[in-house]
Chains A and B, each alone.
Chain A
Amino acid sequence: MPSGHEFLEHTADVQVHVWGHSMEALFKETGMVLMSIIVESGEVRLEKQIDITVEAEDWESLIFDWLTEFLYYFDTELFVVGDIDIHELEDREGGEEDRFIIKSSLKGERYDKERHVPGTEVKAITYSYMKIWQKENQFHMKIVFDI
Chain B
Amino acid sequence: MKDPIKIQDNIYELPRGKKILRVGGEVQTFEMEVPVRIYANDELIKKIKQDKTIDQLTNIATLPGIKKYAIGLSDSHQGYGFNIGGVAATEREEGAISPGGVGYDINCGVRLLKTDLGTKEVVPQIKILLERLFQNVPSGVGSSGKIGNITPQSMDELLEVGVNWAIENGYGFDEDNLYCEENGRLDADPDNVSSKAKGRGKSQIGSLGSGNHFLEIQKVAEIFDEDAAKVMGINQVDQVTVMIHTGSRGFGHQVCTDYLRKMERAVRKYNIQLPDRELVYVKGKTPEAKEYLSAMGCAANFAWCNRQMIMHWVRQSFSNVFKQPVEEMNMNLIYDVCHNILKQEEHEIDGKKMMLNVHRKGATRAFPPGHPKIPKKYKEIGQPVLIPGSMGTASYLCVGQPKAMELTFGSTAHGAGRHMSRRAATRNYWGKKVQETLEKQGIYVKAQRDKIIAEEAPGAYKPIDQVVQVSHDLGIIKKVVKLLPIGVTKG
Contacts and interface: CB of A to CB of B under 8 A. Distances in A.
A11 B50 CA distance: 10
Given A9-B421, A61-B264, A128 B77 contact: no
Contacts of B423: 7, 9, 14
A92 B209 CA distance: 39
A90 interface: no
Contacts of A144: 80
A126 interface: yes
> Main secondary structure on chain A at its contact with chain B?
mixed
Nearest to B79: A12
Contacts of B204: 75
B142 A118 contact: yes
Nearest to A56: B261
Contact of B421 (A10, A38, A121): A10
Interface stretch (B157-165, B221-229, B249-257, B472-480): B249-257
A126 B142 contact: no
A98 to B, nearest CB: 13
Contacts of A48: none
B211 A71 contact: no
Interface residues of A, number: 39
B452 interface: yes
Contacts of B80: 13, 126-128, 144, 146
Contacts of A125: 257
Given A124-B256, A127-B278, A76 B211 contact: no
Interface in A41-56: none
B146 interface: no
B15 interface: no
A30 B449 CA distance: 25
Most chain B beta-carbon contacts within 10 A, residue among A9, A61, A128:
A128
Contacts of B449: 117-118
B203 A11 contact: no
Given A120-B210, A127-B277, A72 B196 contact: yes
B211 A121 contact: yes
A39 interface: yes
Most chain A beta-carbon contacts within 10 A, residue among B142, B253, B277, B449:
B142
Contacts of A74: 142
A10 B455 CA distance: 13
Interface residues of B, number: 47
A147 B250 contact: no
Given A119-B141, A120-B452, A146 B104 contact: yes
B78 A12 contact: yes
Contacts of A128: 79-81, 276, 278
Given A12-B418, A13-B80, A123-B253, A76 B199 contact: yes
Contacts of A117: 449
B164 to A, nearest CB: 25
A71 B210 CA distance: 14
Nearest to B56: A128
Nearest to A58: B24
Given A11-B418, A12-B77, A130-B277, A124 B257 contact: yes
A109 interface: no
Contacts of A12: 77-79, 84, 418, 421-422
Contacts of A129: 52
B419 interface: yes
A103 B227 CA distance: 64
Nearest to B103: A146
B245 to A, nearest CB: 14
Interface in A76-126: 76, 78, 111, 113, 117-121, 123-126
A24 interface: no
Interface string B135-162: 0000011101000000000000000000
A37 B209 CA distance: 15
Contacts of B105: 123
Contacts of B196: 72
B327 interface: no
A64 B51 CA distance: 24
Given A61-B261, A120-B210, A120-B452, A11 B77 contact: yes
A119 B79 CA distance: 21
Most chain A beta-carbon contacts within 10 A, residue among B211, B424, B448:
B211
Contact of A124 (B140, B141, B253): B253
Contact of B448 (A10, A13, A118, A147): A118
A147 B451 CA distance: 15
B319 to A, nearest CB: 28
B290 interface: no
Contacts of A61: 261, 264
Given A118-B140, A120-B141, A121-B209, A14 B422 contact: yes
29 contacts: A9-B421, A9-B423, A11-B418, A11-B421, A12-B77, A12-B79, A39-B141, A71-B200, A71-B250, A71-B254, A72-B196, A72-B200, A75-B199, A75-B200, A76-B199, A111-B141, A113-B142, A123-B105, A123-B250, A124-B257, A126-B104, A126-B278, A127-B81, A127-B278, A128-B79, A128-B278, A144-B80, A146-B80, A147-B422
Given A72-B199, A121-B491, A127-B278, 20 more contacts: A9-B423, A11-B420, A12-B84, A12-B418, A14-B423, A57-B264, A61-B264, A65-B261, A71-B250, A75-B250, A76-B202, A76-B203, A118-B449, A119-B451, A121-B210, A123-B104, A123-B105, A127-B260, A127-B276, A147-B211
User: Can you list the 6 inter-chain pairs with the closest CB atoms, starting with the nearest?
Assistant: A128-B80, A118-B141, A75-B250, A124-B104, A127-B277, A75-B200
